[in-house]
Structure formats: C-alpha cells, structure tokens
Structure 1
C-alpha cells in the first residue's frame, strides 16, 4: 500500500481489522470518493486457524465477497454485505465486527443455507442484520437486484465508484423483512449446499 492508502485506512473504521490482518484478498481497499469515504471489497477472516510450526493456515471461517464502506472520521462501518457459507458463521462475525458496527448501519448477510424463499431481519446485541439466501449468484449481483441498481449504469464506473454507488443506495434501504431471533434463525437454517454443485467444470 502507498503511504496515502496506509494513512487512509489507519484513520478509518477498518483500522483494527487491518491491524489484526483480517482484511484478505482485497479487490479494493482505499478511499472511494473525494470526501474520504473508505471502502473495502474482498474477504474478512472471522476465525483464525491454529498455526502449526509457524505455518500460516487459511482462516477456519470467513466472510466472503465482502462489499463495505465507512464514512470519514467515524469508527463505525456504515455498510457491510458479504457471503457466508453458513448462517451459523454469524456467531464468529458478530464478535469480530461488533465494536465497529452501528444500530443505524445497513448490514446484509447472504447465506448459503437459508431457505431460498425466506428473508429475515435478526438483531444481535442491538445490531440489525438483513439475512438473505443466495444460490448461484454473487453478493454483487444480489445487491444490485435488491437495491434496484441497473448493472449497465455501474459498468462504466471503476471499482471505487461502484462501491460508493452501492453504499449510497444501501444506506437508504428501508425494506422490511420479518424479524426473528438469532436462536430461531439458527434453528431453521438448513445444511450447507455445495456451492459448486451443478456447475460446469
């Protein structure tokens, strides 16, 4: 990272996650508009695997396909969307992110093992999460559909501007999903589907 990029992340709500080496495989990590809004697109390590003989191992659980952003000068991540292989990973995600989440933020968890016909809102420690199913689509495509964004309008934008546009729209999202408890959602989640099943090799 350049000195400017390093300074930007150190002053953002992503600083702790960066220091803990949780921000992995970044597609983008930096300011996303001229006002200093910071964005990250990549993966977030949730639960690290125990290292053996100082050999780094992949995290046990991750938030994948993350698209997220935070306003300048704030220690809160205002917008966060990701893919979770299992909704159960929320029990790893909340402790990792909680101090940087806000009750007024917009957080979308697309989960492999949620009924494809269902959408929920789950509040954990005062933080509301929109829980949505995902089958073969990507978080990016699912967000565009959920937020009524036209793919063609975003195609001409660079990665930073795409994150900025998605975040702007997500922050105004007021869709109401049935609210259920964390325990209820954990009890109703199904087995994890093989994400590569029925795909051509």
Structure 2
C-alpha cells in the first residue's frame, strides 16, 4: 500500500489547500513516507466570491517529507522572502513541527555570509542565505550531495535522497533568537520589480 498525504502530517495542509504548484505530492520510494515538492501557501488574500487567488505570502520551492504514523513533518526545506515570515511559517505548520524534525529555510533578506539556528514554535530551524540559486541546489551543496549521484533518479527518488541526508544533518551555526534575526535582516525585496507587466 502506498502512503498518501492524508496518512501523514501533511493531511491538514492538504485539506486547507496550502500545497500548491506541486511536482511531487504523494508516496516516495521509501515505505511509509510521503513527499511534497511545490509551494506552501502561508497567507491567503481575502476571498472574492469564488475566484481562487494566489497566496499573498508563500514558502516557495518546498521539499518536504513526512512518515505514516508520525504526527510531524520529518524534513522541510523552503524559500522565504523575509526572515520575519518564519513566524508565519511556524504558525501555519503548527502541530506538524517537532524538535525531532529537520527544518531548513533559505531566506532572501539575511546577510549572505551568515548561517543561523533559530528556535521557534517548538522546533529548530536552520536559516541560511540563498545565493542566487534554488533551494534544491542549495541543499545539495549544504548536504554534500553530488548532482551526478541523483541524475538517474525520478523526483520521488531525489526527494528521498535529499531527505535522508538532511535527516542526518548536524551542522553547527550561530544560534540567535527570532527577535535578533528580525533586527538584523535587510529590506524585503520586491520580486516583481524589473519584470515586464
């Protein structure tokens, strides 16, 4: 029997319509594991009649896995435009966060030379700058995974490989409070500027 999102800690997020633009949404190749790759909606705009509008704030390029029978998401990585959105992310993930989970956030408005550990919402987040790249590429670099090793794998297989390495990650970064991070963060970039309308 393959594991569905509904059998894991993803169930509520799925029912709330937060798992968007997915390239993977379901069982991986590991028994009892479901994976998600896509965007996680953090804040929805006010609803106008029946129209579905894109989220106001989201965590993009998410790669995450959860296991059947575990109430929490085991591994989560995603992009955030602002350090401040960690609070929103923690509120949305809520009971699916755990001290046992491994959570990596690549944040656009922190110093490119800094890497932090931030405890928030009962979980520990590794907070890293994003260096003009993708969350996937940043993870491969952080976890010392060779791209060639993953070439022959499908999306689920790649997700398993990254998750397995991430779950064993024990890096030591500077530990700061959420408040300290908010004070130190840079301005939030407008991702839509310089784009043709």
Q: Could you state the TM-score of these two structures normalised by the residue count of structure 2?
A: 0.93
Q: Distance in 2 between matches of 1:57 and 1:181?
A: 34
Aligned-residue offset at 1:39: 0.4
User: Is 1:64 aligned with 2:60?
Assistant: yes
Preserved contact between residue 116 and residue 174 of structure 2 (Cα < 8 Å): yes
3-state secondary structure, aligned to 1:169:
helix
3-state secondary structure, aligned to 1:33:
coil
Q: Distance in 2 between matches of 1:52 and 1:194?
A: 25
Preserved contact between residue 45 and residue 55 of structure 2 (Cα < 8 Å): yes
Preserved contact between residue 118 and residue 124 of structure 2 (Cα < 8 Å): yes
Aligned-residue offset at 1:35: 1.0
Residue equivalent to 2:9: 13
User: Is 1:50 aligned with 2:46?
Assistant: yes
User: Is 1:181 aligned with 2:177?
Assistant: yes
Residue equivalent to 1:80: 76
Alpha-carbon deviations, 1:41-90, whole Å to 9, x = none?
00010011101233222111101000000122212101000001111111
Q: Quick one: structure 1 residues 26 and 171, their matched pair in 2 at CA, closer, same or farther if it must change by over 3 Å?
A: same
User: Is 1:153 aligned with 2:149?
Assistant: yes
Residue equivalent to 1:162: 158
Aligned-residue offset at 1:95: 0.7
Residue equivalent to 2:118: 122
3-state secondary structure, aligned to 2:141:
helix
Q: Could you state the TM-score of these two structures normalised by the residue count of structure 1?
A: 0.91
Q: Show structure 2 runs of 5+ residues with no match.
A: none
Preserved contact between residue 117 and residue 127 of structure 2 (Cα < 8 Å): yes
Q: Distance in 1 between matches of 2:59 and 2:25?
A: 16
Tell me which moved more, 160-169 or 34-43: 34-43
Number of residue-to-residue matches in the alignment: 195
Structure 1 segments of 4+ aligned residues over 3 angstroms from their partners: 193-199
Q: Distance in 1 between matches of 2:191 and 2:44?
A: 22
User: Is 1:31 aligned with 2:27?
Assistant: yes
The two structures, once aligned, show a CA RMSD in angstroms of: 1.8
